[in-house]
Structure 1
Amino acid sequence: MDVDSNAEPPRGTKRKAEDGPNPEPGPRRIQALDPNVVNKIAAGEIIIAPVHALKELVENAVDAGSTMLEVLVKDGGLKLLQITDNGSGIDKEDLPILCERFTTSKLQKFEDLESIATYGFRGEALASISHIAHLTVTTRTKNSESAWRAYYEAGVLAPTKPGQGTDPKRAAGRQGTQITVEDLFYNVPTRRRAFRSTSEEYNKIVDMLGRYAVHCSHVAFSCKKHGESSASISVQAAASTVDRIRHIYGGSVANELLSFETEDSRWGFKARGWASNANFSMKRTTLLLFINGRSVDSTNIRKALDETYSHFLPKNSHPFVYLSLEIDPQRVDVNVHPTKREVNFLNEDEITLAICGHISSKLAQVDTSRTFTTQTLLPASTARGNSSGSPAPGTPRASAGSTKKTSARPYENNLVRTDSNMRKITSMFAPSGPTIVHLSSTSPAAPTPGDDSSGADADPRIAHHYPSGVAEYEVVDRESTTNWLKSVRELKEAVVDNSHSGLTDIFKNYSFVGVVDERRRLAAIQSGVKLYLVDYGRACFELFYQLGLNDFGNFGVIRFNPPLDLKQILRIAFDNEKGDDGHEHGDGPELDVAVEAVASQLIERRQMLQEYFSLEITPTGELCSIPLLIKGYTPPLAKLPQFLLRLGPQVRWNDEKGCFDTFVRELASFYVPEKLPVLNEELQRLQQHRAQEKGKGKEQAGSEGGEGEDDDTRARRTHIRHAIEHIFFPAFKSQLICTASLMQAGLIEVANLKGLYRVFERC
């Protein structure tokens, strides 16, 4: 065989300088890619970001018939994505092929695409995720005796640890499926480095879940960050579409919605939804578009809606529209985008024109009045800011040719307080010096919800000093538990069923005026042109009761260092209780038996109390911690003995639903701020008179009169006043579901601006 001396040397061989350039290379041979490379390429087309992975998992959960979805996110989903549902589950026999490509229970032949009615159908989501993340699936069907847990790597079952088998393992779990995605894009470093901010990725996840929470009216949604107790999204299954929009997008848009519904058999579509009216606008169009139940985006429909609203809204103003479009499946092609973000359907222009025409007619019907928000400067503020008589900065000047000054002066009876920080009601009170305060040493045997009497002498070990600075909080790396207890779900649904929409609207759109009476726990708020008195004690009870149900099993912790003696605390509570004969309980065998009975009951149930309520009690009877319901507020620890004592006889321990209900109610009563003692004006005047007779000044007399209020009481008063304005009332606006009982006993209208002006006009 002859050897060609002019043949090209092997690739990588050094060439001498005199060697000429390489001749024209020949065509490269075509080779089949490695299956692992193929799967990673496919995964990069489907799972572009953590939000796309979660979207696929949410759609699978809804397809499985779930009525509750809970999502846990860490580092924007790159570190952890966990979704838990209560759907039908996955059979153990299907787990080995669960993460293989093109394995699905929703499609058998290509013709089925013409009538597809589910979210997923190609069987690529889990397969793609398993190639770029560590995937764990825990599932249980209705007929299975236990749950099964499987680990996947590159589309196939993988062992939990090296050397172990790959078969699914038995595990504890309720019906449904929990999918955990860890270290997303761990083997695609270029893609992982492309994400600039975990907060931005989390906001995308919240936006996507919010869209499905509005559309899936029968499904409860919950989404929170890992390590945080409060949820970014918490929607109950029984909530209406408007309530879901109010929770996700705010009350300002929910209060200005109009419903629409239209259909046309010629184009084979039905459309329904909610759209904002002419009184609401935003900087960008918010379009929640669902076609056959699938969240998609359509540039043509978005532009058509903007054009429709341009006739009703000012320039550069845009609407909010939730549109659910049902089209004959044979007219829709859903298999046009890897992430199913876009779909094609026949007669798109005709359908879009029909929907926009119907919305335009709806807007024209209600366009009889407009609401405009205006902000005016107070005359006193203008005088103080500019005493020279020249216009204040920012005030439009009259044109050079104008000789007459004109001003559009609004009617005073329509002026509405728009900024709660402009002036507080307390600024109108005359300053008064501190006085002596006597605290009661007894408490009622059966306080009403939100009522308390917390003046009992506290043991030095539970005496609490409130610092003047901001409290320090420690965030622990503890995974949130998933609660599927039917009893807790029924208690939450009972709160929603008893809700009062009118009162909820008042609390969603109020302006805080100030605290009126600290002894009776009354505060003033303004909503519209009406002034209300709110029993913030009862409102706090409703808030803490609902927080206790929402955060069930995931409470924060207030720790005692060193731990407190449970029996000693119970003895303090018994000492402050009066018997029927009016005599104080003293030491004796009856007291020891009562203390031992309550303590034994709590110690016996310590595991349940710690797991569900973060109330930690050691087997030897030491109280280590109590639950934390809301950050920034510390409950009155002088009420701790009474709270622990009432857990014995007042909690229905033998009934699951009754136990949780009564315990959370007692916890809410414990957290309600105590009634603060009022300043005794008569005692103050008497002290001032005596000081003046002795030749002392009025200011010195006032300072002497303040010696009756100790530092702890004064600090507690400051702590509660701050919590009322900056913690409780903002929580009322964002988290409280107002009930009918709160409307009956917790709110009273005291003034109506229009009515007051009619009275003044008659005078």
Structure 2
Amino acid sequence: MIRSLDSSTVRRISSGQVITKVEDVVKELIENSIDAESTIIEVKLVGDGLTSITVKDNGMGILECDRPAMAMRNHTSKLYNFEDLSKVKTYGFRGEALNSICAVTESTQIITKTENDPVAILYTLDRSGRISHGKSSGSSPGTTVTAVKLFSNVPVRRQVAQNHSSTGKNVQNLLITYALAHPHIRFSLKQTYENNSKLKFKEGDWIQPAMKNTMDAIIKIFGNELANEVQFGVNTQQCVITLEAVLPKPDAAPGVIFKNGKTFIYVNNRPVITTRGEIKNLVSMIKSVYNEIARQNGWKGSPKTPFMWMNIKLPTWAYDINVEPSKNVALFHDGERLIETISNLLEMLYDLNNQQENTSIAMEVDQPVELVIDDNNINR
């Protein structure tokens, strides 16, 4: 049930979230869709998102009792007090995203239907997040959110957004990031533009079908050339930290690995930035190790970032995600243990200690491997 957070909790978790670009809107809405257990998420941009942004899902829908507060600031169903923050497993929890979107659009429309509702209802929200109008609308279960005329009341931001020609590509890259964390979800992006009052489709509409696992998603997105050069590995420390990783094989072709030198790092499936704290050190460690291996394999170019995908799984009490408004920076209670875990994984995958018995580990991309480290001194 959506409730208003008490003033003490608001002071401690409120971020003053601000929407500054089209990608911010898409990110917040697809995270809502994932939290709603959707298996299909469709994004549509009209006029590079400045005319409208629509995100449609087939998730649980919004309960009727929650709808009056669904876009009110500091209203959320994810937690009720600050102490609940250490238990939150969802992407959203502050009750700020929808309200922030409403504040910078001409209007926001939400169509929602649960499996028990006889009919969907279309709600129009004002800039404060309050419902100004509602009417019946034929729709399947799920939720569709449309942000109309983004930044219509913030002309500087709108002008900056109009000057960006890469919005569509940035949104596609954003969807790829989430598709690799949630391969079971079908993602799609459709772009249209307005020309003489007629809508025409842009070229390059993108679909990522639901896949069985991350490796299948990598094959679909990046192709077999890259997939044939990477391996899947897992390292677990006493069930507290588990690292799932897709990294280059020891004998991979460096040219292929560096050509696709994208970095995807997640904490419990949440994408995080790689320029701060232990995550930065983690990425640097992988880069250093693989560049040395590439040099041994004949690479003569300058050091580069290899392709890497990693999901850090750990209890919610073991890290803090309430650091930045975007919720993409993680602070870890035991950063040294995280670095130790990645170090052990690299030793396992690349035989850094010349342990011959490890040379065949994780060479089958569809078969994850596990190294359990016995450590009885885990600090909770």
Q: TM-score, normalised by structure 2?
A: 0.78
Contact 1:43 1:132 in 2 (8 A): no
Quick one: which of 204, 209, 212 aligns to 2:170? Answer: 204
Is 1:304–2:313 an aligned residue pair? no
**What is the match of residue 135 of structure 2?**
169
User: Cα 1:340–1:71, aligned 2, differ >3 Å: closer, same or farther?
Assistant: same
Inter-partner Cα distance in structure 2 for 1:177 and 1:168:
14
SS in 1 for 2:90: coil
Q: How does 1:90-489 map to 2 (within 5 A)?
A: 90-133=62-105, 134-157=107-130, 166-195=132-161, 197-226=163-192, 227-228=200-201, 232-265=205-238, 268-277=240-249, 278-279=252-253, 280-282=256-258, 285-299=261-275, 300=280, 301-313=282-294, 314=299, 315-364=302-351
Displacement of 1:106 in angstroms is 0.8
Contact 1:59 1:119 in 2 (8 A): yes
Give the counterpart letter for 1:310 in structure 2. N
CA deviations over 1:702-758 (Å, ceiling 9, x no partner) = xxxxxxxxxxxxxxxxxxxxxxxxxxxxxxxxxxxxxxxxxxxxxxxxxxxxxxxxx
Inter-partner Cα distance in structure 2 for 1:52 and 1:104:
19
User: Cα 1:139–1:146, aligned 2, differ >3 Å: closer, same or farther?
Assistant: same
CA deviations over 1:335-393 (Å, ceiling 9, x no partner) = 110010111112223312321431343134669xxxxxxxxxxxxxxxxxxxxxxxxxx
Higher strand share: 2
SS in 2 for 1:290: strand
User: Cα 1:250–1:284, aligned 2, differ >3 Å: closer, same or farther?
Assistant: closer
Displacement of 1:232 in angstroms is 3.9
SS in 1 for 2:166: helix
**What is the match of residue 60 of structure 2?**
88
Unaligned 5+ segments in structure 1 are 1-41, 159-165, 368-500, 502-763
**How many residue pairs get matched?**
319
CA deviations over 1:78-98 (Å, ceiling 9, x no partner) = 222111100110123322221
Contact 2:17 2:97 in 1 (8 A): no
Give the counterpart letter for 1:290 in structure 2. Y
Is 1:58–2:30 an aligned residue pair? yes
SS in 1 for 2:118: coil
User: Cα 1:343–1:221, aligned 2, differ >3 Å: closer, same or farther?
Assistant: same
Inter-partner Cα distance in structure 1 for 2:335 and 2:244:
16
Contact 1:64 1:88 in 2 (8 A): yes
Inter-partner Cα distance in structure 2 for 1:326 and 1:240:
16
Identical columns (%): 28
Inter-partner Cα distance in structure 2 for 1:132 and 1:43:
17
Inter-partner Cα distance in structure 1 for 2:140 and 2:17:
34
Contact 2:211 2:217 in 1 (8 A): no
User: Cα 1:317–1:59, aligned 2, differ >3 Å: closer, same or farther?
Assistant: same
User: Cα 1:250–1:306, aligned 2, differ >3 Å: closer, same or farther?
Assistant: same
Contact 1:286 1:320 in 2 (8 A): yes
Inter-partner Cα distance in structure 1 for 2:223 and 2:162:
28
SS in 1 for 2:75: coil
Inter-partner Cα distance in structure 1 for 2:34 and 2:74:
20
Inter-partner Cα distance in structure 1 for 2:44 and 2:100:
20
Inter-partner Cα distance in structure 1 for 2:188 and 2:212:
13
SS in 2 for 1:274: strand
Contact 2:246 2:310 in 1 (8 A): yes
Give the counterpart letter for 2:22 in structure 1. P
Give the counterpart letter for 1:303 in structure 2. S
Contact 1:82 1:178 in 2 (8 A): yes
Is 1:73–2:60 an aligned residue pair? no
Inter-partner Cα distance in structure 2 for 1:342 and 1:232:
31
User: Cα 1:284–1:318, aligned 2, differ >3 Å: closer, same or farther?
Assistant: farther
**What is the match of residue 629 of structure 1?**
none
SS in 2 for 1:183: strand
User: Cα 1:156–1:354, aligned 2, differ >3 Å: closer, same or farther?
Assistant: closer
Contact 1:69 1:86 in 2 (8 A): yes
Inter-partner Cα distance in structure 2 for 1:257 and 1:283:
13
Give the counterpart letter for 2:72 in structure 1. E
Higher helix share: 1
Q: Whose RCO is larger (CA < 8 A, sep 6+)?
A: 2
SS in 2 for 1:281: helix
Inter-partner Cα distance in structure 1 for 2:212 and 2:218:
10
Q: How does 1:587-606 map to 2 (within 5 A)?
A: none
Give the counterpart letter for 1:207 in structure 2. N
User: Cα 1:75–1:363, aligned 2, differ >3 Å: closer, same or farther?
Assistant: farther
Inter-partner Cα distance in structure 1 for 2:42 and 2:285:
35
Inter-partner Cα distance in structure 2 for 1:319 and 1:270:
22
Give the counterpart letter for 1:204 in structure 2. N
Inter-partner Cα distance in structure 1 for 2:238 and 2:210:
32
Inter-partner Cα distance in structure 2 for 1:250 and 1:332:
34
Displacement of 1:126 in angstroms is 0.2
Inter-partner Cα distance in structure 2 for 1:98 and 1:357:
45
User: Cα 1:135–1:218, aligned 2, differ >3 Å: closer, same or farther?
Assistant: same
Inter-partner Cα distance in structure 1 for 2:110 and 2:184:
24
Inter-partner Cα distance in structure 2 for 1:186 and 1:43:
23
CA deviations over 1:434-458 (Å, ceiling 9, x no partner) = xxxxxxxxxxxxxxxxxxxxxxxxx
SS in 2 for 1:308: helix
Q: TM-score, normalised by structure 1?
A: 0.40
Inter-partner Cα distance in structure 2 for 1:144 and 1:90:
10
Inter-partner Cα distance in structure 2 for 1:246 and 1:199:
28
**What is the match of residue 655 of structure 1?**
none
Contact 1:55 1:208 in 2 (8 A): yes
User: Cα 1:231–1:61, aligned 2, differ >3 Å: closer, same or farther?
Assistant: farther
Displacement of 1:114 in angstroms is 0.9
Contact 2:321 2:331 in 1 (8 A): yes
Contact 2:36 2:61 in 1 (8 A): yes
Contact 1:65 1:87 in 2 (8 A): yes
SS in 2 for 1:337: coil
Inter-partner Cα distance in structure 2 for 1:88 and 1:325:
27
Inter-partner Cα distance in structure 2 for 1:108 and 1:43:
16
Give the counterpart letter for 1:345 in structure 2. F
User: Cα 1:285–1:231, aligned 2, differ >3 Å: closer, same or farther?
Assistant: closer
Give the counterpart letter for 2:311 in structure 1. S
